[in-house]
Each structure stands twice: as structure tokens, then as C-alpha cells.
Structure 1
Amino acid sequence: MCRVIADPRIATHRARLADGRELIYFDDADTALGPERAIDARALDPRPATAHMRQDPLTGDWVSIAAARQNRVFLPPAHLDPLAPQSPGNPSEIPSTYDVAVFENRSPSFGPALAEPGTPDADPATALAVTRSIGLERTLPSVGRCEVVCFAPDHEGSFGTQTVSRARTVIEAWAQRTAELSALPGVQQVFPFENRGEAIGVTLGHPHGQIYSYPYVTPRTQRLLDAIDAYGPTLMADLIERELAGPRVLLRGEHWSAYVPFAARWPIEVHLVPHRHVPDLAETTLAERDELARVYLRLLRGIDALYDTPTPYIAAWHQAPVHERRDEVRLTLQLTSPRRAADKLKFLAGSEAAMGAWIGDVPPETQAEALRTAIEGVDE
């Protein structure tokens, strides 16, 4: 189980939505809000049944069949924003105004059910063995949890448009939620992320991200574990040391640095890493979170400064598995964008989509130089 040092400057308030889902408010250190929160008085339908997963025996991958997601809201107007505070004309998901709010997704890919305590599914070693074995037409319940993280009450924006204080509150929410979600029965990996832009497939313009809590170790992380087995336990430490001594570094801080990776797949691809070994956000120190708020904002604003319009991206926090706490796996933010020019996007064609064999459109060194120039023009 992860342990987290909570920032005493950032207050939390817990509540329940009308259908029983958990809602947590995180107040900025300099908040203007009082401690009172309204009650969710909506009449809501019961929560959907937990989805189920099917295994692809050719790869071992698990696919969650979550039909309830078909009912998600698609690009609503501002007055019907489901992530804005509730108003007389908008029965949204959040009863009160807020700084940062986290709540259980109404149409989750995983959950709301969790592994039953005392059953084989709740035993980490047994569950890992079950999910890694291969068979035909295998199914398992999609236990776990999916949460929405609202960065601000505003209808439009992203993480990069927030103040340093607000960014710090979101980071605190990520850290605290990582710790709590890691303790839920059946959860094997916790993944905070932000999708930004319609080109990525975003269905809400409201500044927000999500946190998925998976009942298995994800394929991307499993490949990392396999790479560590092949190379040796110092893989990530050696890689980061080499990258931070190389030509693709974008930003350096006391605790964090960002670089374009040597074998970048996407036209824009940046990794942001802590200087010391940290397996997940829950185990970062308060000083590391304080600096991360500033460094991450500068990085995102530099990426937006590349072109005249905001850049779509996926910002993915890769964290160590919950129960395979391999000391070799280090927390890494991997930000990717398909934008290869002001008016061009990279689409995954035959080689990438069908075979997983990537072709890079922009040399990583070229993109690193462009990003450094853009970041240098951003005010700290």
C-alpha cells in the first residue's frame, strides 16, 4: 500500500453524490472558498452494472466491454457542462463551486465493483497469475475504479491554463488519490492522465483529467518490466542519466527534468521525470510536488507556444504497479501529441496501428530544439 504525505495547506472535503458515488473537494492553499458544500439532491438512476473484460489470446491483453460508456455526454454547451458547479438550469455532477473536485465516473470502464475481500481475486499474487495466463474466451469482471479530476470550475481550459496554486492542488489530488486507490482490493495499477483537444477524442472541453485503477498490470507497463528483466535492474536509472546528459533536455529543476526521448514515436513526445527514484506520485515529497507545479506548467505552456493554436496531447503518468513494487520502475510523465505541423496531424496508419512498428516523422533532436526555443519564451 502506498503512503502519502498530505499537504496540510490543501484541505479536503468528502461527500457522496445522489447515487452513492464518492466526491472529494480539494481546496487551493489560497482558496477563497468556505468549508460548506451543498448536498446533491438530484434523482439519479442506479449506477450501471460493472462491465466485464475479455482476453485476446493472441496477445494476452484484456479488453473491458463497457457498454454504458456509449451514453457519455458529447461536447455540451457551457450552460449544460456536466463538470461545472450545479445551477438551477444545470443539474451537473458537482453540487458546489470548487477549486479542484474528484468524483467517481458515472459510466466507468472499471468498477464500481471491487474484488471481494477474502476471495482469490483480492489476493494480489493470485490475481496477477490469473490475468497473465492465456486461454480461449476468458472473461473476468472489470473491477476497479475510474475517477474524474476537475482542474477548475471553468468551462474551458486545461492543466496548462491553471495558476501555480491550482496546479499544485491538482498534483496533491493525484498523489492522495494514488495512495487511496492503490489500497482498494483488486487494484493492480493506478493511472492519472489528461486528454486535451478534440483531435485526441476529448468529449468535454472542461479542464479535467481522469484516474483509472486497473485490475491488471497494463500492457505498456508489462513491456517495461520485460525490458528491465532483459537489461537489468538499472535500466531506468541508466536511461535517465544518459538522457539528462544528452542533447534533448528541455527543462532542468532541482527535483525534475524534462527531455525528448531518444526513440520518440510521436511528433511531440516529452518525458518528465523526478531526479530521485520515486515509484508513484503518492511517494513524492511536498517539495517535489511544489516544484512539479511550476515545471509542468512551463512545459505545457511551451508546447502550446510551438504554434498559434493549442496543441492536442495525452499526458500520461506512468506509475509502478501497486503490488509488483519493483524498485527499478520509476514514475514518469509521458506526454505525446500527434501534431507534426501547425495544420497537420500524424494518424496511425498500417505499420503503427496494425503491427506496432513505428515510423517517426520528426527527428527527436529537431523537435527538442524547437521545444526548447518555445519554452524559453514562456514566462516563469
Structure 2
Amino acid sequence: MSEPLDALHQLGPDASGRPVHCRTFRKADGRMLRLYGHTPHTLAPGQQETDDIALGGELRHHPLRDEWNIYAAHRQNRTFKPAASDDPLAPTLPSGPPTEIPFTDFELAVFDNKFSGLHSCAPDPAALDGVASARALGACEVVVYAPQAEGNLCSIGQDRREILLAAWEDRYRALHEAGCAYVLPFENRGDEVGVTLPHPHGQIYGFSKIPHIQQQAIDAFANGYDLAAEIARAMPDYGLAEEHGIAAFCPRFSRFPYEVWIAPKTARQGLQDMTDREKRGFASLLGEITRRYDAFFGRPSATMLALHAAPRGGSHGYHLTAQFYPLLRAADRVKYLASVEQHTGVMTVDVMPEAAVVALRAV
């Protein structure tokens, strides 16, 4: 059943007990926009674009790696580093060009990606003899943290981070209900990661098939791996911060220099299982680790952040984590993923976790 053209409803309270409101708005091109905030969003829309929107790509199975990869040729022409005056993630101003958010202001926005590789109406794939293919069902969404063109998970502040957690939790629920087997909120940050839109934002992918790496983690937890015990062993020697039952630490098995994980000290399968106190700590540490990276590298840091939660329906023993993978090994040195790492998946880590935690703790 399709969502209404324009509707306002209230979610449960955020981690600090304040109500979070969500306005769902169907844009002129048919895509959904969701506006989250502590104040109900009631502004009238401005001008909008009505371009035709691609409905996803296709999936092809790699027989030697057991992976389903996304093929989406229309993404080749997606927006690439526009001028500040053409920021597509900014509010639409009366005197300016239409943007993705046709309102003059908002707190936090989530909308269907214009260049989505996964879509609920994905077309049937091409038939290839000897290669398994499938419809690229799912969802690709963009999460805009704030209307300001500059900022990060630290600078937006705790109030906005708690709205973000409420939005993430709402999208987990909705995408699981829509049939997505696995949901991954993530953030790419920095030129070295390949970011094409500098406006502070993240994304959410909803997969119809559980990705191979995530399935390995699901299996490990189901077979008895105890991350809570590992966190207890690692803290305090590998710990960076601890707040309201949430730990930020450098894993002893890090794959990237200066890698940091944020996780509840008690196993929780997802945000929906966390207490309000834990959510406050989780939101706070997302900002603190971002701040710490920028201070350590002396510039906006290039990082890949993703939330790893249980799949649809839950999974025995699963333990939620937020994982930061930095793409820098020093302020002026990029951690390139070269032939051995790309071809084998075996990482060469240039900075020992023991040294990384000392350096980051000193910031």
C-alpha cells in the first residue's frame, strides 16, 4: 500500500524523552521524503523537480566469492561535487533552484535516493547463461543531518544526534516490514572515501539478500562468539571512552589503522533493544569519536562509518556495533586498499591497535 501524499505522525520519544515527529511527503517525482524533528514540520513546499527516476539496477551473483553485487549503470551520471550554490541537500529557498528538500527549513531529512541501485520496483534482470541474476529489490535512502552545508556528527550536537537515532530506528522498522532482509545505515566522509556531496549526510541501504560479510557475522554470533566478553577484556587498555553503558574502543583485531567501534557493553541486537540511557551514550560517542578523529588528524577525517545490527527477525547472540574505518594512517597519508587487500580480503594494518588507542586517547 502506498504512503499518503503528505502526513504527520509522532514517533515514540527520543533517548531524552522528547517526542520526535515525522512528516512523510511524496515529492513531485514520486519519491518519498521524511522530515524528522522535535517540532512538527508544517512548512508549505516550494518548487520541485519532476525528472524521471530510475527504478534500481540488477543483482548478479559472483560464484567464487558467493556475493550478490549491484549493477546500476544509471549511477554513472549521478551528481558529482556540485558548486555550493547548487547543493542538492540544502533547503529549497524561494529565490534558489529546487533541491532534494523542497522546504525552506527542516531538522533532519531522509529521502529516497535519486540514483538508487536498489528499489522496491526494480526491473527483471538480463538473462545470462551460467550467471545467476536477480531483481535488485530493496531501498537506498539519503539521510541529511541538518540544513547547514557544513558540519559533522560532532558539530550537529547531541539533540540532533538523538533525532538521528530515532530516524534510524524508524527506518530499520519500516524497511524490515517492507521485506528488506538486512538494513545498513552508513556514512562516507572525506574526499579520500570518494564523497561527491560535501553537505553532511549519511545513507541507508535496505538489502533483499543479506550481504556475505554480514552473514558471516550473523553466523559467528549464532555459533557463540561473545563480543560483550571481548569488550570486557579489552577495556580499559583498548578503551577510548565509556558513557551510559556504551563503550568506544579500538578492537584488538582492527583491520584499519585507528579503527574504532562503539557498542553496548551488554549485547543488544539493534537500536530497538537499547535502553534510553544507552541510546544517549551511543549518540554522544558518535559525536565524540568524530571529534577525536578530526583533532587527531588535524583536519576533517576521511572515515567510513556503518551500523551493524541483526537482520530482519533478529538473530541469536547478535551484538550491535557502530564501526568507524578511517582511510588515513596519518594526516598526510592515505590508507590505500591495494592489490593484496582487494584480491584476498587480507588487510595489512600499518598501525598496531595498541599504538592507535594510545594516540587517540591522547587527543
What TM-score, normalized by structure 1, do the two folds share?
Answer: 0.85
Q: Distance in 2 between matches of 1:218 and 1:102?
A: 23
Question: What's the counterpart of residue 125 of structure 1?
Answer: none
Contact 2:304/2:327 (CA < 8 Å) preserved in 1? no
Contact 1:268/1:338 (CA < 8 Å) preserved in 2? no
SS, match of residue 159 in structure 1: coil
Contact 2:12/2:20 (CA < 8 Å) preserved in 1? no
Q: Distance in 2 between matches of 1:305 and 1:294?
A: 17
Equivalent residues, number: 343
Q: Distance in 1 between matches of 2:12 and 2:354?
A: 38
SS, match of residue 110 in structure 1: coil
Question: What's the counterpart of residue 95 of structure 1?
Answer: 102
Question: What's the counterpart of residue 270 of structure 1?
Answer: 260
Question: What's the counterpart of residue 327 of structure 2?
Answer: 338
2:213 matches 1:220 = yes
Q: How far apart are 1:104 and its partner, in Å? A: 0.7
Q: Percent identity?
A: 33
2:284 to 279, 294, 300: 294
Q: Distance in 2 between matches of 1:238 and 1:265?
A: 20
2:199 matches 1:191 = no
2:210 matches 1:204 = no
Question: What's the counterpart of residue 84 of structure 1?
Answer: 90
Q: How far apart are 1:140 and its partner, in Å? A: 0.3
SS, match of residue 173 in structure 2: helix
Question: What's the counterpart of residue 231 of structure 2?
Answer: 240
Q: How far apart are 1:43 and its partner, in Å? A: 4.2
Higher normalized strand content (fraction of residues): 2
Contact 1:278/1:330 (CA < 8 Å) preserved in 2? yes
Contact 1:178/1:282 (CA < 8 Å) preserved in 2? no
Aligned residue runs from structure 1 range 85-164, under 5 A: 85-87=91-93, 88-96=95-103, 97-113=105-121, 136-164=130-158
AA matched with 1:13: R
Q: How far apart are 1:310 and its partner, in Å? A: 1.4
Contact 1:18/1:40 (CA < 8 Å) preserved in 2? no
2:163 to 166, 169, 174: 169
Aligned residue runs from structure 1 range 338-357, under 5 A: 338-357=327-346
Question: What's the counterpart of residue 275 of structure 2?
Answer: 285
Q: Give the aligned CA root-mean-square deviation in angstroms.
A: 1.9
Aligned residue runs from structure 1 range 293-372, under 5 A: 293-323=283-313, 325-372=314-361
AA matched with 2:141: E
Contact 2:57/2:122 (CA < 8 Å) preserved in 1? no
Aligned residue runs from structure 1 range 24-35, under 5 A: 24-27=34-37, 29=38, 35=41
Q: How far apart are 1:179 and its partner, in Å? A: 1.2
Q: Deviations over 1:303-354 (max 9, x none)?
A: 111022111101110111113x222111100101121112111111222111
SS, match of residue 86 in structure 1: coil
Question: What's the counterpart of residue 378 of structure 1?
Answer: none
2:77 to 71, 76, 93: 71
Where in structure 1 are there 5+ consecutive unaligned residues?
Answer: 116-134, 375-380
Q: How far apart are 1:40 and its partner, in Å? A: 5.5
Contact 2:48/2:102 (CA < 8 Å) preserved in 1? no
SS, match of residue 13 in structure 1: strand
Q: Distance in 2 between matches of 1:109 and 1:290?
A: 33
Contact 1:5/1:286 (CA < 8 Å) preserved in 2? no
Greater Cα offset, 345-354 or 309-318: 345-354
AA matched with 2:51: D
AA matched with 1:109: G
2:241 to 251, 269, 277: 251
Q: Distance in 1 between matches of 2:326 and 2:197?
A: 18
CA gap of 1:22–1:6, structure 2 versus 1, over 3 A, is farther
Q: Distance in 2 between matches of 1:267 and 1:234?
A: 24
Q: How far apart are 1:42 and its partner, in Å? A: 2.4
AA matched with 1:22: M
AA matched with 2:50: L
Q: Distance in 2 between matches of 1:43 and 1:24?
A: 17
Question: What's the counterpart of residue 47 of structure 1?
Answer: 53
AA matched with 1:327: H
What TM-score, normalized by structure 2, do the two folds share?
Answer: 0.89
CA gap of 1:179–1:47, structure 2 versus 1, over 3 A, is same
SS, match of residue 160 in structure 1: coil
Greater Cα offset, 154-163 or 103-112: 154-163
SS, match of residue 14 in structure 1: strand
Q: How far apart are 1:192 and its partner, in Å? A: 0.4
AA matched with 2:102: P
CA gap of 1:362–1:40, structure 2 versus 1, over 3 A, is same
Q: Deviations over 1:219-276 (max 9, x none)?
A: 11112134346xx3243333233223x5111111122101101111111200100122
CA gap of 1:144–1:162, structure 2 versus 1, over 3 A, is same
Where in structure 2 are there 5+ consecutive unaligned residues?
Answer: 1-10, 124-128
SS, match of residue 180 in structure 1: helix
SS, match of residue 297 in structure 2: coil
Question: What's the counterpart of residue 127 of structure 1?
Answer: none
Q: Distance in 2 between matches of 1:148 and 1:282?
A: 21
